[in-house]
Amino acid sequence: MEVFVQQIVNGLFLGSVYALMALGYTMVYGIIKLINFAHGEIYMIGSFIGYFLINQFNMGFFPALILSMAGSAILGVVIEFLAYRPLRNSTRIAALITAIGVSYLLQNTMIYFFSSTTRPFPQVIELRVFKLGFLSVSNIQLLILGLSLFLMIALNVIVQKTKMGKAMRAVSVDTDAAQLMGIDVNRTISFTFALGSALAAAGGMMIGLYYNSIDPMMGYIPGLKSFIAAVLGGIGIIPGAAIGGFVIGLIETLTTALGFSDFKDAVVYIVLILILLVRPAGILGKHVKEKV
């Protein structure tokens, strides 16, 4: 029972990172109905930016985090402009194939320049473990959870309270009507990509700090799991993505606690299949009839 409870706590910390990444998936889908499969690679590149800033310029974790988020936001905007914008009026399958292609392009570019070798992420924050009865919680885990919650709240404030957030919501409902009302659709979509990419970079740096390792392939599996989290919560729904991320984190750690650590990835995909069979719209999603 103690191990079980400990894994639930661990699942909350891991799930918070999945939630951050799932928010990027769900925002982009909500705006332009595109699954950005390059999102996991932006998460990976964000961790590498932080790695080099800390190693080469002796930066602290938080300054490196801010610059990593800014650099990844710019990368997200560039990807949207070069790869996705020309295909905005194309078929869904063309955009999907392009997203997969961008994912492999980024992944292999990083392997070409930095090799596929795993690198130790600099431990700029000294690890401390706190004992709460039989539970063990580290200061890095608390940092991950606290920072993730802060970024989720900040995102919610941006979407609900700012002018750009209102524009994002308008574009997600009806792009043509939003354009007729004077909203710059291209700028709004670019801002959405920047916001999602910044959150992914934050997740990449926190995971690098937590696991003490990064490599060019590190974004592939977390990217898929975060996509599953977005579908689980309700793709296109921001609170649903956050809930889905925490649920996936809990499923993964509980599977490990039950002694099936070798099958934790498979269990997550089984959950996706079940959700698509039982409730395709997700936990918070609603069935919407489309006019033909």
The answer to whether 42 touches 219, Cβ cutoff 8 Å, is yes
At residue 291, the pLDDT reads 45
Tell me which residue has tokens 């990368």: 75
The answer to whether 72 touches 199, Cβ cutoff 8 Å, is no
What is the maximum span of the chain, computed from C-alpha positions, in angstroms?
60
Distance CA 212, CA 264 (A): 21
At residue 52, the pLDDT reads 95
C-alpha radius of gyration, the chain, whole number = 19
At residue 289, the pLDDT reads 52
At residue 126, the pLDDT reads 87
Could you list the mean pLDDT of each consecutive 10-residue stretch along the chain, which spans 292 residues? 80 90 91 90 96 93 96 96 90 90 95 92 89 85 93 92 93 90 93 95 93 92 90 86 91 85 86 84 67 44
- Residue 223 in tokens: 């990217």
Q: How far is CA 99 from CA 1, 74, 79, 82, in A?
A: 43, 17, 9, 11
At residue 282, the pLDDT reads 83
At residue 22, the pLDDT reads 93
At residue 9, the pLDDT reads 86
